[in-house]
Every structure is written in C-alpha cells, then in structure tokens.
Structure 1
Amino acid sequence: MELANQKILVTGADGFIGSHLTEELVRRGHSVRAFVYYNSFNSWGWLDHAEPEVLKSLDVFAGDIRDPHGVREAMKGCDVVLHLAALIAIPYSYHSPDTYLDTNVKGTLNVVQAARQLGVAKVVHTSTSEVYGTARFVPITEEHPLQGQSPYSASKIGADQMAMSFYSSFDTPVAIIRPFNTYGPRQSARAVIPTIVTQLASGIEKIKLGSLHPTRDFNYVADTVRGFIAAAQSDRAVGEVINVGSNYEISIGETARMIAEIMGKENCFETQADEVRLRPGKSEVERLWAENRKAKELLGWEPRYAGKEGLRRGLEETVRWFSDPKNLKAYKAGIYNI
C-alpha cells in the first residue's frame, strides 16, 4: 500500500527505535501521529530532541498503551499503525513480570482490538529476536521454535500470538516485524553496545559487562527503520512474521573489542564480568543469527549496514553520537542500567 495520504500512528514514538522511525516518516512527508507515554513532566522522550521542522509537523498524543480507551482515541482517523510501545528490558522483567504482561500483551490487544473496530488498513506489530531463545539452528528463520527464556520474551511471544490471532480470527490486517538486536544513537544503556561505549567514553578502563561469549546479530537502527516502513508499504507482509536482521553473527566480546578499536582505546581497557549483569543460566540467549531472506522477498528490504564492515560503520556512527558531551551526559555510565 502507498503511505502517501495515509495517517500513520506510531506507538512508542518517544523511545529509541520509535523516535528514529517517527522522524524518518516525517522527513519523507508523511502525516504522523506520535503516541508517547503520558507523564507529568510533559516529556516526549527522545522526540524532545527532534529537529524543529520535524516537531512542528507532528501530531502528538500522550497516553498509556495499557488503557484501551486512550489507545482507541489515539487510533481514530489513522490508516496505518506501527506498534512499537513495549517494555523491553530483560533484567527488569525478572522482578516485575506483571508489568510486561500488562504493557506488552494487553497493550497489543488494545491496538488490534481498536484496529478491528475502527477498520484500520494496516497494523505493523513489533516482535523481537528474543522470542527465539538460544538458536537451535542458524541462521534463524521465521519457522524457528519460540522459546520464552525470560518473562520479557514470554510476554513478546504472547503479544505476537495475540496480534496474529486477530488476523486469523477477524482478518485484521496485521504484519509482524521481528528485529534482531537493534543498536544506534539514543539507545538505552541497558543494552550492551551503549554500555560499552558510555563506559569507555567516560574514561572507565575496566568496563563491566555480562557474559562475553553469547553471539548477536546487530542491526543498525536506520536499517530497522527502513524495515518498518517497508512492512507498512508491502501488501505481501499481511499475515506474515518477518525477520529484520543483518545475517551476521558476532560475539559480545568481539563487539567490545571492535568498539574499543574504533574509540582508540584497544590498548588501555579490559572487560570484567559483573555478577549483577549476568542473566540466570537458563535464561541467557547464547546465540542469535538472522536469516533475512523473507524480508528481501516480501519487503524488498536488505541491510545497508551488513557484515563486519557494515557493523563497523554503524558502530562508528553510534560512537560519534554517544561521544558528544551533550549526549553522553544523559547517561550514568558508572551505574548498572537495569
């Protein structure tokens, strides 16, 4: 479907990926309503830092994805919904799992229920590579078994199934995009790449990390954003689950060394395992590596930051952003961000 002349709602527009997606849609000339999390500070999250030209074009709705009435109100008059609002921190899910059910599962129910009632033309629901758990085979296709190895991943499996059940039961036009390990400017320091960069940029030489041996498929945020837009545009995406990943596997330890090299600190840092940052043994996802053939076939999407060279380019852009003092000061590098 053509997005021109369509009103697009982005839930979670105040977050890391959501803010990049919202800004890109506005830059492309689309009409966007940004659903941000209501708070008494009237903060729009990362959108507060958007360019004035972007902000003046935005229609901002402050609400709570857990509230069905507010969600329905936000969706009125919208043709396409890109649903990113979610709780995503894995460690926080260990001690506050109820909030993940309310936000991720019920929040998704609220979106697809309103989409059904309002006759929305397309819902793109956000999944995560964490739903696969530790890879049983690689590269991981969309047919890989789902494994809830943390309350977070279990809640996202539930959310995915809720979204797809509305497609199966009511023909609600739902597509599911499953990003792998997105990174880039603005990401929370609860994620490993910002953890490494902020510690090094703050002059910490003995950086604290969790496990170094697990592998990940890192996807630069600009590629993930392009995946969302391609899924919104593609009629072939309806009823499908689609991986968006770089099809390149690298360990956490190797990633840390690459970042240190980019920052010119490869000879003056060392990593140490921090007990508080380690996942429970059976909860650790040991290996993630995306098969992205389906995205290429259905969406015409492929990563521009692919392979080792692409990862390095993405990390260089990420390091550049985090190393800017005005950005770095927003992060507490010496404190573990759960």
Structure 2
Amino acid sequence: MEQYSGTHRAFCVRAYYRNGNSIVTAQRLYRAEYRTRHAPSDDSIRKWIRMFENTGATVRIQNSGRPRSVRDEETIAEVEASVRQNPSLSIRKRSQALNIKKSSLHSILKKDLHLKAYKIQLVQELKDTDYANRLNFANEMLQRFNNILFSDEANFHLNGHVNKQNCRYWAVENPRRKHERPLHSPKVVVWAAMSAKGIIGPYFHEDQRGRAINVNSDRYCDMLRNFLVPELQEFAGFNSRTWFQQDGATCHTSNDSMEVVNELFPNKVISRRGNINWPPRSPDLSPLDYFAWGYLKSKVYQNNPTNLTQLKQNIRSEMAAYQQLCVNVLSPIFVPV
C-alpha cells in the first residue's frame, strides 16, 4: 500500500486544483518537485481529493477524546490554514476535521478571523470573445435604451423557490439554517416586457387547465399575435422608434417566431438573428434579469400563497404597480447620449 506524508498529499491536491483538475499534471509536477520517477497513483490522488473536499484535510485526524474548545493562537492559525485550503467547507465538517467544537470554531471564524458568510452567485460563464462583444453592445445600446422593449420569461414556483440562493462560500456557513423544498413544486411560467415607459404583462404560458407549459415556437407566436399585439395598441411607449429585445432561446429565434417579430417590429429587433445581435450568455444585460424578476419574487411570496391562483393574482397585482417603477428605475439610467 502506498504511504505518503500529509505534505506529499497536500502537494498533489494543490497541483490538481491549480491545473484544471488534472491528475496527470499533478503526478508530473510531483515527480519534478520531489525528483522521483514514481508518483502517487490515480486512485490515491482521487481518494485524497475526496477526503479534502469532505473534511478539509488530506490525512485522517485522530480524535483524542472530546473536541477542543480552546481559542489559542495555535488553534486560530490551524483554522485559518484550513479555511485558506477549502473556504467552502461547512462548520460541521470543519469541526470534525480539526477536532474543534462547533461553538469554538464559529467564534474563531467570526471573532478572531473576522470572516462572514457569502452566497455564491451563479452566473453565465463568459468566453474570451464575449467581453468585447458585450462592451460594444452596451455602448451601442446607450443610443437606444429609452426606446427598447425588453422581454423575457421566468418561472415562479409555488414554494417560493428561487435558484442561486442555497450556495455558500466561507467566510462561514450558518449550520442552523435548513432549506427544505419539496421536489417538483407547482409553478407558473410568466412572460413580460418592460421599457422606460412601463411594463406589458404578465402573460402566463399555460394549457387549458391552467397548468404551466414549456414555451415552444408555436406558443410563443400565439402569445405575440394574441396577447402582445393588443397590448401594444394600448401601450403608451410603443411607436415607430420602438426596438424589441428577446434572448436567443430557440423558441424565440425559430423561423416562424422571427417572422412574427419582424412583422411587428420591422428592422428594429435585438435578438440572435435580429437586426442587432443580442450577445450570447448575457441575460444580465436585460433589466428584467438584473432587476425586475428578482424584485417581483421578493414581493409575491410575502403573503405565502398556497395555490397557483393566489400566486398568479399576486404577480398581476405587483406588476400592475410596476408602471411608475419602470420609469423610476430605467429613465435615470438609460438616457440617450
């Protein structure tokens, strides 16, 4: 059986993470570092990585009785090193790995190391070419923002579930808080459009029984013709200078969908396959994504709706109050230059 010290194991784990999670590269660097023709096996490195991710250590720590409750300099330094190695490890697992009481560990993290709990925000991964494309697009849009009608869909689950909220990064994790969500919670699929002049919507994508359905090209075209067209006739912000924005979802950019969109907004479509190309992997450029949906979700669950009818009514009521809010939020920002 292979025997390697904690230092050797830690070197392999660091090399693995620093080089694109490559075991082969970690082995090559190990041979170079220790000037040996032999390196730990693939299975050994995988085992150390699993141990590190589960406990924050690469060797098993032998407990010597009850967990320690001290906050001396040596223990604080040990905790600091552990956090530096694995900042996302939970209180419970770090307590077990270091053989320190959870209460003492929490005090060290908060009072001695002055660390805090941060949520991880999940975002679209950008490619190298995206940065210049997004900058050029943003500069071009400054000339048009007051005349852009942004559109988007969002899911609202009855249980109030919002993605991106359950990840944590150390600083610290609150071990007392649990998020228990039933699987397959009922939901509604909402479409809306907004500009500096106000908001159009909501439109609920649902079948004849009121159940949420996935959006495809046929349903999208039906919504454009039978919902958006009448709404535009009453919308004060719609005129010959209005640009229509949609993201690059297939249901939005199919031949049939683009035909309807181009008919409604001739030569003024911001979209994949549109007159101005919407940058890929960039939902955050739309105010619906970076403001409206999050704000709406912070409001519609306040009275804890117990069925989809109540949830939809909450959405309608809150969006009805959006009109002046759109003006307040967008107009000061999107001023033509």
Calculate the TM-score normalised by the size of structure 1: 0.23
Calculate the TM-score normalised by the size of structure 2: 0.23
Structure showing greater Rg:
2
Higher strand share: 1
